[in-house]
Structure 1
């Protein structure tokens, strides 16, 4: 192989493809378009002389050659990245302040696990969480003031994004709700009194946008700005909330909530971690991002164990 012709960016693409076993997820991981990632895969196939990813039913699987490359490639890229990392981040001694922006549901789901790690490995590090302020806030100036953003949605200019965890939506009701057992029927669902969640930067509850594509309008009697607000209301009334399933599970015991499968399934929600391009090689940012990604992976493992 002629190393002079080797594009190191191809190795980054290869690492993502081997981790995700999916062109679309690899594209999200490295911030490229799906066509660009598909082109990179073809170049890698030609370079290595192996298909690397092959279709098996509805999924893609790694070839034996691709499986064998995972460990050595990860070690090689770690060494290359180390050449350009100016200093290590000494978490145990650091007194750094990290600023994170996220909606209330991400605070509820992520912060307990994050703070457990901070307490264990970086007791003098401080985390400042600011509320989600909508996509309009994203600018070059904002990128200089923030370390991480947790949100759904497309990429924002000046930020990289990585898939953090997936979720799905369900109906939340109080335990003992008079029609809980029947809410899986469309007619009962439509006749129920709903609380909608319209977070900052949006004009409508996203679930209603989706329902309207099906020609459905639910009966909304209350609109609140946060998911946790909605669940607190649901816990003390006969209203129904259509919210992320993980959040219902997290608050089911303290709020005495029940999870009801909806009559229509909107599919999978994806929650992303965004970080400024300026911080891509910052050791402290890398340390925090790795912890957050580990939390996301653990959430996904727990999800698979409970399915």
Structure 2
């Protein structure tokens, strides 16, 4: 292949076609007309010697060759884009949009202080938060669409990991709960009816995974997908929630909750910040990460988020 005849815009078009597997959607993605996108597809077919997209019934599908091109093409375009990243990040003038993925727990604890700082330092920056999804989503293609992930767990391929803050688990009950402090006793804990939190991508509440090898089974009365839901239900019933202590503290005033030490201590929870390897030297990413790490340090020093007023 003669690289002198290669139009870089064709690679951008190819990337869109491989991601969308649809000429019309690919055209919209990169701001071309549909005839222009169709012309680009024909040029790419001639250049690569493969049809790339073939019709199967009413839809288009990628050929095996096209499938094989997706990941290396994405990496190549990322490297090209990195050549044009500026050496600094002007937060006060930036209109950049950052995309973060995190569970509801992290949204509740981290977003208020983060947005307070961003409002002062970078009033035109936008933060988009998407809900936590299962670890299987951590692919090279996903890394291109996200700036930061907040989660527990091990490192993910293509991502760097830094510890953000630590926490511990406790029992949350409504004020005036009939069992109250007696929940510190194992027998009362076992007699209570519990809310389990099973986050997307998990098979059961992590607390139950920890308790089961010890021969302990909670009486699960309700299963919800997030910690916020668990605390809202707990605040209006006699159910008990076994959740991170910082979250109870953040919502205790608003929801009239009380924190009870559990009869068994599962130890320290670690919450991590993950960011794509490709963004390691990106000034905007470095700026956002430093702010987030600062919030984590404040939390570790005991500056817990101020509970929201009712």
Relative to the length of structure 1, the TM-score reads 0.71
Residue number in structure 2 paired with 1:204: 204
RMSD: 1.1
Q: Name the counterpart of 1:257.
A: 257
Deviation at 1:151, TM superposition (A): 0.1
In structure 1, the residue matched to 2:167 is 167
Q: 1:160 Cα shift?
A: 0.2
In 2, Cα distance between equivalents of 1:303 and 1:121:
21
> Which residue of structure 2 lines up, in the alignment, with residue 113 of structure 1?
113
Alpha-carbon distance, 1:86 to partner: 4.6
1:203 CA drift (Å): 0.4
- CA deviation string 1:177-207 (max 9, x = no partner): 0001200000000000000000000000000
Partner residue, 1:97: 97
Partner SS, residue 184 of structure 2: coil
2:230 paired with 1:233:
no
Query: Deviations along 1:146-198, whole A, 9 cap, x unmatched?
Result: 00000000000000000000000000000000001200000000000000000
Structural mapping, 1:43-122, within 5 Å: 86-122=86-122
Larger-Rg structure: 2
Structure 1 stretches lacking a partner, 5+ long: 1-84
What's the counterpart of residue 266 of structure 2?
266
Alignment-derived partner of residue 133 in structure 2: 133
Cα distance in structure 2, aligned partners of 1:151 and 1:225: 15
CA distance in 1: counterparts of 2:237 and 2:143, whole angstroms: 41
Per the alignment, residue 56 of structure 1 pairs with none
Shift of 1:124: 0.1
Shift of 1:98: 0.1
Which residue does the alignment assign to 2:289? 289
Q: 2: CA distance between counterparts of 1:294 and 1:213?
A: 37
SS of the residue 1:302 aligns to: coil
Distance 1:181 1:281 in 2: 50
Flag the 1:215–1:303 CA change in 2: closer, same or farther, 3 A: farther
Structure-2 separation of matches of 1:135 and 1:180: 37
Aligned equivalents of 1:86 and 1:233: distance in 2?
48
Aligned to 1:279: 279
Secondary structure of 2:120's counterpart equals helix
Cα distance in 1 for partners of 2:303, 2:100 equals: 25
Output one character per residue of 1:198-221: Cα deviation in whole Å (capped at 9) or x when no partner: 000000000000001211101001
Distance 2:86 2:112 in 1: 31
Q: Residue 303 of structure 1: CA displacement?
A: 6.2
Could you tell me how far apart the structure 1 residues matched to 2:261 and 2:178 are?
16
Cα deviation per residue 1:36-86 (whole Å; 9 max; x = unaligned)? xxxxxxxxxxxxxxxxxxxxxxxxxxxxxxxxxxxxxxxxxxxxxxxxx95
Separation in 1 of the partners of 2:219 and 2:240?
10
3-state SS, counterpart of residue 302 of structure 2: helix
Aligned to 2:156: 156
Residue-pair matches, total? 220
Distance between the aligned counterparts of 2:136 and 2:222, measured in 1? 26
User: Any gaps of 5 or more consecutive residues in structure 2?
Assistant: 1-84, 305-310
Which residue is equivalent to 2:298?
A: 298
1:205-253 CA-to-partner distances (Å, cap 9, x unmatched) read 0000000121110100100000000000000000000000000000000
Q: CA deviation at 1:298?
A: 0.2
* Alpha-carbon distance in 2 for matches of 1:253, 1:133: 30
1:136: how far off?
1.2
